[in-house]
Amino acid sequence: MRRDSIYPHRAIRSIELTPERILAAILLAVLLTVTVYAGRDRLFVEHNRIAASLLELSGIPTYGAASVEVFPLLGSADAAVTDTFHYHTSPLRVVILLVSSVLALLILHRRVHLARNFVVFLLILLLLAAGVMVFFQAFELQSTEFTQIWLREEALVWLILPWFSASLFILGRPDAWVGVLWAIGVQAFGFVWSAVRLAFCLAVIHFSGLLFVPLLWFALGLLADNIYLLVFYSISTRQAAAKTWGKRLSWQF
Amino acid sequence: MAVLIAIANGCLILTVVVLSAYAIRHYWFTLYRLTLRHPRDFMEVVGFVTPRISVLVPMHNEEKVAADVLQALIECDYDWNKLEILAINDRSEDRTGEIIDEFAAKHSIVKAIHRSEGAGGKGAALLEATSQATGEILMLFDADYFPGRAMLKMLVAPFCDPEVGAVMGRVIPHNTGASVLSALLGLERAAGYQIGQQARFNLGVTPQFGGTVGGVRASALRAVGGWNAESLTEDTDLTFRLVVNGWKVAYVNRAECYEEAPESWQVRRTQIGRWATGHTDCLHRFWPALLGTRHLSPAQKIDALFVLACYWTAPTLVLGWIASLFLFFTPAAHQVPLFAVALAFVGYQLFGNQATFFELGSAALLDGNSRRVYLMPLNLLNFFASTGAICSALLRYYARRISGSQGPGWHKTRRYRAKGNGNLFRNGAASLFIQGANGLYTRNVEAHQP
């Protein structure tokens, strides 16, 4: 036996997950994944073009492109060639950069309590890289090697992203078609943003060598992918929450 | 070097496996909760004769909040003939005892219990109050909580099922506008209750009984040996003693109670450290009983172990980070031969890291959360901060276990409320809280912090 009515509640009871919606999510994910895989050569070329253009725009000389293998299954990609800084060229520059970065991080550590552990982790990465630079000078990382590592990760992100977007933006929203737009938009952004981040990393390597590589790899690699996804997801959730607001009373009976 | 690389790879694989298992669980719970058509709701049951209840409110130096919680309880719509409020002054050095006495003098249902000796801490206070309680059901509230008018009825409803030994309500921070941290904790709490607890309850695995907004059947409590005054998390301790003895724990999502979330990182660090220590201690004490009990299905046992071992994920993650760092500086490690391995690793990084955020976002969606959801990316910082705090708390815990030394004492969570005179419920903002607890909208409450 049920009451005629129970207390209304501010939360909506559930999201309607119909078979059509699940099918739409799977179809979109498959379609985007196949598109990325089939067009990977073109994507690699455009990715390199964006990165190289940004490097040139910021005054960093590039010397053409070298071919790097991403994965046997994905083939090869062009990687812009730039100079990289070496410790023995100017140890003083390394010292100045290291000291100023450590100071900046320490100030951040002191002022932003919530970010303390994050900053400590960045400090560890920075000091570790400085140690490798000074004590293991044979360890070098060329721009093409860095690009290869970068693409090995980012190409996989592009392939996985559609499945991720399908679950976040299509299954988790009341309006599936808006979710489809979000998924396509996030895919496009992910591609361009990857090229921009790569160009920034190559520029930093050009001026400071290995010193910031682990830090950049950590902060601008998969973490950055996670962050833009989170930003888009939070905006999408806010939109979706506003749309479901009017339905809140409907489940009290 | 080859051995070191193999060890690092082993650590990395361990991390991926452990955290993937938790991530899959998060997704499963979230999708299950999102799509749930008919959650079990005991408030829909009619004809249940409400039992006599005793509300236990332990307080230690709670002058800022004591009057508010007592006033809120008095204003509850539960039959006064079946209600007693046991306000426990646990060796307070401020005006807490005085405030309790004032309420006891004015309202016959309020009974003051003053503790001046014996062991300290919430568990010990509950132990003493339970011996004086006359109710069939014992309700528990922390002193900084605002129970709404219908709260007691909502929490009592699940006890119509004679197998239910304990019930838990939903905790919502009311001070989410006070600091970034409290706003982030608001999102985190929403995910934990709206998704985690509700999904666990509806899936038939065990929601956790928290000793802050909940109730326990007095006979069940006696049957499992009463409160454990030694435990830092006496609620987790009781949850698992109940379930291994065949009692069920219910969760009532709409029984919303408002709490003060920590506003500064120092306070949060202490709080999460205490939770990690108490929880992990329960893991060590209960895992054999959990695996051996006949009252739980394999799925329930696995989920219970997931709950108890959840704080182990922090050191596991740090282990993974150290291994990754080592491998980063090992050129051979970058030559990943297997596409599938690399795909699995990147997939884990994305899906694994986003699992908790999917839970947060889904809770915000169901709750109709406002702009606070934009803070979600900042939760990464909270995540880093918590990982460090948990690791350091667990290090201390295991060091104590090895050395055989005594555990830390109870640390009371700091209160932020400026004053507590029982009038909080008469101003507009607070009435919104109470309406919210009764099920009306609380959407704009954030803009009217007390």
Q: Structure tokens of B260?
A: 């003060």
pLDDT at A102 over 90: yes
For the domain covering B48-298+420-447, report its CATH number.
Answer: 3.90.550.10
**Domain-embedded: residue A102:** yes
- Tell me if chain B has a CB within 8 Å of the CB of A12: yes
Q: What is the pLDDT of residue A16?
A: 72
* B378: phi then psi, degrees, rounded to nearest 5: -65, -15
Cβ neighbors of B237 (< 8 A, separation 6 or more) are B228, B231, B278, B282, B285
Number of domains observed in the structure of chain A:
2
**Domain-embedded: residue A8:** no
CA distance A126 to chain B (A): 12
Contact list, B43 vs chain A (CB under 8 Å): 3, 6-7
Are A110 and A206 found together in one domain? no
The ipTM estimated for the assembled molecules is 0.81
**Which one has a higher pLDDT value, B367 or A92?**
A92
CA separation for the pair A213, A201 (Å, rounded): 8
User: Where are the domains positioned within chain B?
Assistant: 2-31+311-400, 48-298+420-447
On the CB side of B110, CA atoms within 13 Å amount to 26
| pTM assigned to the model | 0.82
CA separation for the pair B402, A125 (Å, rounded): 32
**Domain-embedded: residue A10:** no
**Domain-embedded: residue A78:** yes
Q: Structure tokens of A80?
A: 């812009």
DSSP string, A163-228: HHHIIIIIITSS-HHHHHHHHHHHHHHHHHHHHHHHHHHHHHHHHHGGGGHHHHHHHHTHHHHHHH
Contact list, B334 vs chain A (CB under 8 Å): 145, 148-149, 152
Cβ atoms B439, A7 nearer than 8 A: yes
Beta-sheet pairing, A62-71 with B53-59: unpaired
Identify which of A39, A37, A27, A36 has the alpha carbon closest to the alpha carbon of residue A177.
Answer: A27
Helices A222-244 and A143-165: crossing angle in degrees, nearest 10, is 20
Are A121 and A155 found together in one domain? no
CA separation for the pair B83, A192 (Å, rounded): 64
Are A183 and A167 found together in one domain? yes
CA distance B115 to chain A (A): 37
Interface subset of A 150-179, CB within 8 angstroms of B: 152-153, 156-157, 159-161, 164, 167-168, 171-173
Identify which of A54, A217, A243 has the alpha carbon closest to the alpha carbon of residue A147.
Answer: A217
Cβ atoms B377, A231 nearer than 8 A: yes
Contact list, B194 vs chain A (CB under 8 Å): 11
CB contact under 8 A, A222 and B350: yes
Three-class SS state of B126: helix
Are A165 and A222 found together in one domain? yes
> Using CB atoms, which residue from B349, B353, B364 is nearest to A237?
B364
Interface A–B counts its CB contacts (< 8 A) at: 201
CB contact under 8 A, A114 and B381: yes
Per residue in B415-441, pLDDT tens?
A: 666 554 444 444 434 333 333 333 332
> Using CB atoms, which residue from B46, B385, B438 is nearest to A3?
B46
Q: Across all residues in chain B, what is the average pLDDT?
A: 81
Are A167 and A233 found together in one domain? yes
- CB count, 10 Å around CB of A140? 14
**Which one has a higher pLDDT value, A140 or B359?**
B359
> Using CB atoms, which residue from A3, A172, A233 is nearest to B34?
A172
CA separation for the pair A11, A1 (Å, rounded): 24
Q: What is the pLDDT of residue A250?
A: 45
Are A81 and A151 found together in one domain? yes
CB contact under 8 A, B346 and A120: no
CA separation for the pair B429, B432 (Å, rounded): 5
**Domain-embedded: residue A248:** no
pLDDT at A88 over 70: yes
Are A177 and A61 found together in one domain? yes
Are A23 and A134 found together in one domain? no
CA distance B251 to chain A (A): 15
Choose the mutation target among A4, A10, A70, A144 for the interface with B, i.e. most B CBs under 10 Å: A10
> Using CB atoms, which residue from B264, B358, B367 is nearest to A168?
B358
Are A118 and A227 found together in one domain? no
Per residue in B189-248, pLDDT tens?
A: 989 998 999 899 888 888 888 878 889 999 999 999 888 877 778 888 889 999 999 999
CA separation for the pair B139, B208 (Å, rounded): 15
CB contact under 8 A, A159 and B374: no
CA distance A138 to chain B (A): 12
CA separation for the pair B390, B110 (Å, rounded): 39
Q: What is the pLDDT of residue B176?
A: 82
Identify which of B31, B71, B60, B181 has the alpha carbon closest to the alpha carbon of residue B118.
Answer: B60
Q: Across all residues in chain A, what is the average pLDDT?
A: 85
Polymer length in residues for chain A: 253
Per residue in A145-194, pLDDT tens?
A: 899 989 988 999 999 999 988 888 887 777 778 889 999 999 999 999 99
> Using CB atoms, which residue from A8, A115, A240 is nearest to B381?
A115
CA separation for the pair B391, B394 (Å, rounded): 5
- Tell me if chain B has a CB within 8 Å of the CB of A118: yes
Distances, alpha carbon B36 to alpha carbons A14, A15, A86, B432, in Å: 5, 8, 59, 28
Residue located via tokens 């276990």: B401
Query: Residues B140, B142, B147, CA angle at the centre, nearest 5°?
Result: 75
Are A147 and A228 found together in one domain? yes
CB contact under 8 A, A160 and B347: yes
CA separation for the pair B49, B394 (Å, rounded): 46
CA distance A46 to chain B (A): 22
Percentage above 70 pLDDT, chain A: 90
Contact list, A217 vs chain B (CB under 8 Å): 328
Are A93 and A209 found together in one domain? no
Cβ neighbors of B90 (< 8 A, separation 6 or more) are B58, B59, B60, B115, B120, B121, B122, B124, B125
Range of the domain at A118: 87-139
Are A134 and A205 found together in one domain? no
